[in-house]
Amino acid sequence: MAKKLFLFLVLLSVSSPVFSQSEEFTFHGFKDVGKNISLNGVAEIEQNGILRLTNYTSAVLGHAFYSIPFEFKNSTNGKAFSFSTAFAFAIVPEYAKLGGHGFAFTIAKSKELKGALPRQYLGLLNEKDNGNFSNHLFAVEFDSVSDYEFKDISDNHVGIDINSLVSNISVNVSCFSQGNSIEQKLNLRSGKIVQAWVDYDSVSNLLNVTLSLSSSKPNVPILSFPVDLSPIFLEYMYVGFSASTGLLASSHYISGWSFKINGQAQSLDLSSLPSVPRSKKNHLPLILVYSFSAAVSVALAIGIVLYMIKKFVTMDVIEPWELDIGPHRYSYRELKKATGGFKDEELIGLGGFGRVYKGTLPNTNAKVAVKQINNGSKRGMREFISEIETIGRLRHRNLVQLLGWCRRRDDLFLVYDFMSNGSLDKYIFDEPKLILSWEQRFKIIKGVASGLLYLHEEWEQTVIHRDIKAGNVLLDSELNGRLGDFGLAKLYEHGTDPSTTKVVGTLGYLAPELTKTGKPTTSSDVFAFGALLLEIVCGRKPIEVKALPEELILVDWVWEKWQEGSILEVVDTRLRGEYDEGEVVMVLKLGLMCSNNAPAKRPNMRQVVSFLKGEVPLQEVMVAPDEYGGKKFVSGRATSARADKVLHSYLESPYLEKVSSWSSVYHCKRVVDLEAGSTSTLSASLTEDERF
């Protein structure tokens, strides 16, 4: 009897294995999948059976995995098995042509992907485990955002990711049609249903990715990658999809899916799959038409009109041109709730443009900084928001991320990542709550320089910041420096000449040539960066009015000490002599070079970064950084008349924006006082941190 029972168990184990090398499945929609599909994040199956990985919420992720793992590797010889999958997908952006972020077909050791982040991480990894061999992660990403950090080739690409979001290989999205002979471009954000095939041959160690807008599989893949996945795969792995949203949001849909180990997955008949919902539309005009058409009597018409007027006062009115603007557009109600009604208790900053509030977004609990800008000019608002669309696509670890915006009548709200340690000026001037060490200061300097190089040379357009100063360098939780506040930034194509504009910025950081040409350039940014270098090392502002009738002009004071051979006397005494002398001297020399009166004598940011990294030594002979009027100061201490002359060189410029719609009434009054020649007001103006 025992022998028969043993034989039965042996036969049962052979005929009914838990995991089979020939396992496969096919889903024509997901309506009746039951427990076969495991979901987490915001992923859900809609009523018509389509799988939606994400929705129009910012900074969320969604996962959908087959519930049971597959055997992906031969336990005897350690060789990976071949596999094939076909799936139909569509990416429907919240606003046409503005998608974010993307999704990936994924083979992973876990179906939860714990600790994964949204945005550029696609819900797959996070900043700590990205690139680790222990991830055992394989993914084919379909990405609609170009991310600088991960070296994406475009905002419309397919890539192979192995243990990292930096793709091993990637191509711009396309497909073949008309007898597999004609390649045509394909936009991931089009909202069209696309069928994708991912095929891995473990004999030839070749991975192919093929796309089509039809049910038939083309003979020509868009991407082929020779790779042996045996070291990547564990014996058992999970298959599924991961997606995320970022600044911009898209709904990522999967309408059908087939998969097979050691064989060819079944292609899907697109006509038999659930339909994909269209993108959001603005139904306000339709509501208004039906509301007014229902006014068949005088009393009813009056009631409807009064009701609509009341609603109009409190709602966000979106004009047609705003629908084409990215990044994510928040509603005023969201931001009001996030900041507790813009309470004074949440106020964390007050600048020339408006107030800055700390907030918590209601859906994600993400900490943000909300900047409220007041403006009376609708035309100026439209031009400003158009630039925000471009600035919102900047991606660099040393730039403060613009998450989105909101317009409510004449008020503009910008939403940024919240920097928990505030602005740099609070740590280097007066009596800071924390004294930054030299190592921390040097790291901040190198970080800001890297971000500025990205703006000047490495992004698709040249971006001139125009307001570089300690107050606009923000510190994250790890005291990394991030350049923020792009409210004054100007953009132009590489190789072109920037246009003449109004002189804006902060006194002490403005390059002298701006008063003559009115043209902001990358070199004028370098001048401001030079002032920033000196104030970080010295712990003093570029222009100080403390003991009238004398004022300190920092660059001339540092130059005087350099000539005397006592340059280390300018170093912030709060460092107590604990610093790398070579690094400090190098930064001071670099600050003097950047502060030169002649733009041609200043280094560019690529040279600055090379100097800071120690790749190129600084010159031994230093050139004097001329005084604003062309003459050199005898001493770093200037008389009140000299300081007034410096200020008037800007006030008398034909390019100075003396009465700006973005300025406060208080500042406009001060400009009038300045032009009237009030010496006391001139001196006081140098202590303020305001824009012209």
- Residue 443 assigned as binding residue: no
Nearest to 52 by CA among 78, 29, 82, 23: 29
**184 residue type, one letter:** Q
Residues 609/454, Cβ–Cβ less than 8 Å: no
Three-state DSSP class for residue 196: strand
Three-state DSSP class for residue 396: coil
Nearest to 525 by CA among 502, 538, 509: 509
Q: ∠510-512-518 over CA atoms, to 5°?
A: 80
**Radius of gyration of the chain from Cα atoms?**
30
Write out the catalytic residue numbers: 467
The residue written with tokens 């928040």 in the block is 330
Q: Which tokens in the block code for residue 40?
A: 């987490």
**No. of helices (H) and no. of strands (E), the chain:** 15, 31
Q: ∠571-572-577 over CA atoms, to 5°?
A: 75
Nearest to 623 by CA among 568, 569, 538, 555: 555
DSSP for 474-530, written as a single string: EE-TT--EEE---TT-EEE-TTSPPPP--B-SBTTSS-TTHHHH----HHHHHHHHH
Helix-helix angle 665-675:640-651, to 10 degrees: 110
**250 residue type, one letter:** S
How many Cα atoms sit within 13 Å of 7 on the Cβ side? 4
Residues 482/457, Cβ–Cβ less than 8 Å: no
The annotation places the binding site for ATP at: 371
The annotation places the binding site at: 371
